[in-house]
């Protein structure tokens, strides 16, 4: 896992203030986050054993950074390659959750932006024994791209969550992944095909596959996901749950997908496992603390097939 580590600063409110207005929120709390760290925790929880997931990234030399490292230890995520940027603040993300439980995220990357050649070298130490590399777009893209290329040379399956959406990426960046997992907005941006509804997902996925991406999984929130690949193509339904917060749903999905593939599941099985992980995560507050175990996800799958 190569990616970001942020401290989430979360505000829940029935609505957001208008310009110039002061409107009182309902709840505030902090929690370790960052797309990279969230997905590392999700994968570790789904892997079921300590030491199966390694995190590569940077935190600042502040209390947030020290706390995030302790939390990774607690979840069994290897963090010997998470380095401390002296004199730099850790990344943070302001997260606003409205009455519908939808979330809006405003990150300040801090130490994450200091990632460079050292993180590429750190990641390469783990790739020879790895099954899956999971990356996002919250760390510097040149670093992420270099690690992706190195993984492909070693035959490691590369899963790219193209989030957060970027106005541009290096040439060949998306095509370097074996599996790309955009949400509707990201699928539209990187494919050039409008994705206004789930029915538009096949066209967007087809456009990305035409560019050389072997597998595209367009995540559709409560509508499930659409998978396009040589192995399996079709819609996968979401599980019906009562949401508490959707802030970590995508991270739970990607971590579950990576863990499922690494454990030997076929693509369709890994996607269904990822869907179960995402469904459970939205029934719990927070990000990393909302990630389910493999047993919990498999119990949800079993309850629907019984």
Active site residues: 251
Rounded Cα gap, residues 142 and 148, in angstroms: 10
Rounded Cα gap, residues 47 and 89, in angstroms: 31
Token output for 254:
């990607």
**Collapsed DSSP state (helix, strand, coil) of residue 59:** strand
Helices (H), 128-232: 141-153, 184-191, 201-210
Beta pairing partners, 179: 159, 215
Token output for 57:
């990234």
Look at the block and give the residue holding tokens 């991270």.
Answer: 251
Closest of 279, 263, 169 to residue 219, by C-alpha: 279
Positive or negative: CA dihedral 33, 122, 48, 258: positive
How is residue 113 annotated by DSSP?
G
Rounded Cα gap, residues 267 and 265, in angstroms: 6
């Amino acid at each position: 896992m190569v990616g970001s580590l942020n401290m989430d600063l979360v505000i829940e409110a029935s609505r957001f203030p208008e310009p110039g207005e002061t409107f009182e929120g309902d709840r505030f709390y902090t929690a370790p986050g960052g797309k990279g760290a969230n997905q590392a925790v999700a994968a570790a929880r789904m892997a079921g054993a300590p030491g199966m997931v390694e995190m590569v990234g940077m935190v600042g030399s502040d209390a947030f950074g020290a706390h995030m490292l302790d939390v990774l230890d607690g979840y069994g995520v290897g963090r010997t390659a998470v380095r401390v940027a002296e004199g730099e603040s850790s990344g943070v993300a302001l997260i606003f959750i409205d009455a519908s439980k939808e979330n809006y995220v405003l990150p300040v990357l801090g130490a994450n932006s200091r990632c460079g050649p050292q993180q590429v070298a750190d990641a390469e130490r783990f790739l020879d024994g790895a099954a899956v590399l999971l990356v996002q777009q919250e760390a510097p893209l040149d670093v992420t791209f270099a690690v992706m290329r190195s993984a492909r040379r070693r035959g490691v399956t590369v899963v790219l969550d193209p989030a957060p959406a970027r106005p541009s990426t290096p040439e060949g960046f998306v095509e370097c992944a074996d599996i790309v997992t955009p949400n509707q907005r990201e699928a539209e941006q990187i494919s050039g095909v409008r994705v206004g509804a789930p029915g538009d997902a096949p066209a967007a996925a087809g456009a990305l596959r035409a560019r050389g991406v072997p597998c595209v999984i367009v995540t559709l929130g409560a509508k499930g996901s659409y998978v396009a690949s040589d192995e399996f193509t079709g819609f996968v339904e979401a599980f019906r749950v009562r949401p508490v917060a959707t802030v970590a749903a995508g991270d739970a999905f990607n971590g579950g997908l990576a863990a499922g593939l690494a454990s030997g599941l076929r693509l369709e099985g890994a996607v269904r496992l990822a869907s179960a992980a995402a469904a459970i995560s939205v029934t719990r507050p927070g990000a990393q603390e909302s990630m389910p175990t493999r047993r919990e996800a498999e119990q949800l799958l079993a309850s629907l097939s019984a």
